[in-house]
Amino acid sequence: MKAFAAQFATGLDRDANRSRCVRAVRDAAESGARLVVLPEAAMCGFGNPKTDLAELAEPLDGPFVSALAGAASDTGTTIVAGTFERVPGEPRVYNTLVVVVPGGLAATYRKVHLYDALGWVESERIRAGEPGVDNTPVLEVDGFCLGVLTCYDLRFPESARAAIDAGATVLAVPAAWVAGEHKVAHWRTLLAARAIENTAYVVAAAQPGPTYSGHSSIVDPLGEVLCELGPSAPGAAVAELGAEALEAARAALPVLAHRRFGVAPLVATTASPQ
């Protein structure tokens, strides 16, 4: 299966963002890709810390998901993309990934770990999703099983392992990985670590500089980088994912069979900020 990780920036113009996303899906299909991963906040950028994301959020049957559903139907692709979803009764939003297939919306994931770090306070505008089986979607795509993470979740190996325990063999990681000292090194290291420790493919689509770090990448189950972009230019990381290579990696390095610990959500009092 060919995977396509799109790298582009989004702003607050939802119509322009939607058109950019549909164009990326069509470009992916023309390349032969069946899995298309778009960045975090593909529907609408984060703006500045004062931007009211609730005013910009859309329902899951709104224009953005509807446009992706049409693109998926037209191209026969599976699309993963970042949106903002309203939270009833409060001013914050969910940072929600949607997984869209030719039949429409197939799954959602609400970001569990919020980026309250390095001077950013994501929880002021975003409500964390709840960890657990109800927020750990895994679905079949061309013989692979797709699981999802969002950006800062990459720093928490439990999130990836929960998806792997649910059957994932490919991890899609839409991101808006904020630029800064050490950030590209962290990004590369963590992508490789999540691939190696889970003997899984990782397909990571990032927003580019100058605000974000770029370096959208596809990594194989033994940590080899199959394709990586630079920090700033729009484009796409494209690579073939091989079922035989995945099986060979898991046979040679059976870490999933050898593990002695499980993963479970923490109690609410110690969970990520709500």
**Residue 102 belongs to domain with CATH number:** 3.60.110.10
Segments forming the whole domain that contains residue 37: 2-270
Q: Rounded to whole angstroms, how far apart are CA atoms 245 and 143?
A: 13
What angle in degrees, to the nearest 10, is found between the helix axes of 63-75 and 14-30? 10
Which of 21, 44, 58, 151 does the annotation list as catalytic?
151
Count of domains observed in the chain: 1
Which of 21, 40, 58, 85 does the annotation list as catalytic?
40
- The pTM assigned to this predicted structure is 0.96
183 carries an active-site annotation: no
40 carries an active-site annotation: yes
Which of 21, 44, 85, 111 does the annotation list as catalytic?
111
pLDDT tens for each residue of the chain, 274 residues long: 999 999 999 999 999 999 999 999 999 999 999 999 999 999 999 999 999 999 999 999 999 999 999 999 999 999 999 999 999 999 999 999 999 999 999 999 999 999 999 988 999 999 999 999 999 999 999 999 999 999 999 999 999 999 999 999 999 999 999 999 999 999 999 999 999 999 999 999 999 999 999 999 999 999 999 999 999 999 999 999 999 999 999 999 999 999 999 999 987 644 444 4
